[in-house]
Amino acid sequence: MRTRMPWTDQTAAAKEWFESLRDRICAEFEAIEREAGSDAGFDYIPWDRETEDGTEGGGGVRGVMKGKVFEKVGVNVSTVSGEFAPQFADSINGADADNPGFTATGISLVAHMANPHVPAVHMNTRFLTTQSAWFGGGADLNPPIPYEEDTEAFHARLRAACAAHNPTYYERFSKWADDYFFIPHRGVARGVGGIFYDHLECEDLDQFERHFAFTRDVGEAFLDAFPAIVRRRMGQEWTEEEKAAQKEWRGRYVEFNLVYDRGTLFGLKTGGNIDAILMSLPPEVTWS
């Protein structure tokens, strides 16, 4: 049996970083609202993870803002621990029915925009430990009305973040995003991609530092790229037809998140906060 390292200090360091990234992202989004003449701000709701045996299971903070530019944006941070249910443990890297223990810390963000010319976006990064320890995450752009300029700018910034760490990362992780963020029953992509990575294994402290540095750069790339796109598009006028198309497009986003998304399943299977898990769902949506 593989010996499980405690990774206590490393989990704490990752948690601190995710919380600091949350603070900077939320401050930037609130600044955008001010530029649009809105006084909207984030409401922060702490929550504790419920466990079946009543033991301490960690928790997190759900941050939500509804404003003039951001129709609904959620930024969640959480740090949870416990044991996977036996039937779920076998599906998780480094876990099984005999070794169901885990810890997980991360940040997750989804923004749905009022203006259909401004793309929706998803970003998350996380550090998990079972009998293994690894980083995962990524970011992807989801425009109802795609603009090549925005797509290229988003990908260019993620490409640069990847190149600073491994020349193969962008090609591998952008393809992974294209494959993952796909709706099989519709035969369409959820958006215009980005990067997605998982199981960047940490077998020792050197690997932890390397993968943690990459994960931090993914967060920095998102913070650099997405607000610039929002500012570029948020003043554009839109028609009722474009707004209707946005709401129908959001239906595809809902279908993916409820049927295929691993993060949604992980949260539901580990006793996460329901409102935090489902904050990814848009405020208004239609199906034709």
User: How far is residue 18's CA from residue 230's CA, in Å, rounded to a whole number?
Assistant: 22
User: How far is residue 286's CA from residue 240's CA, in Å, rounded to a whole number?
Assistant: 14
CB burial readout 182-212, b (16+ within 10 A) else e: eeeeeeebbbbbbbbbbebebeeeeebeebb
Q: Are 14 and 212 in contact (CB under 8 A)?
A: yes
Q: Are 123 and 213 in contact (CB under 8 A)?
A: no
**155 an active-site residue?**
no
Per DSSP, what are the bridge partners of residue 59?
48, 79
Q: Are 139 and 222 in contact (CB under 8 A)?
A: yes
**What would the two tokens of residue 55 be?**
């033991």
CA distance readout (Å), 99 to 21, 79, 93, 199, 200: 32, 19, 11, 18, 20
Q: Please report, in angstroms and rounded to a whole number, the separation of the first and last CA atoms in the chain.
A: 53
What's the chain's Rg over C-alpha atoms? 19
Helices 8-35 and 205-233 cross at an angle (nearest 10°) of: 10
Q: Write down the catalytic residue from 117, 122, 155, 211.
A: 122
- Coil, strand or helix: which one is 95? coil
Q: Helix H segments across the chain?
A: 8-35, 86-89, 148-163, 169-180, 205-233, 240-259, 262-269, 274-277
**What would the two tokens of residue 199 be?**
């199981």
Catalytic residues: 122
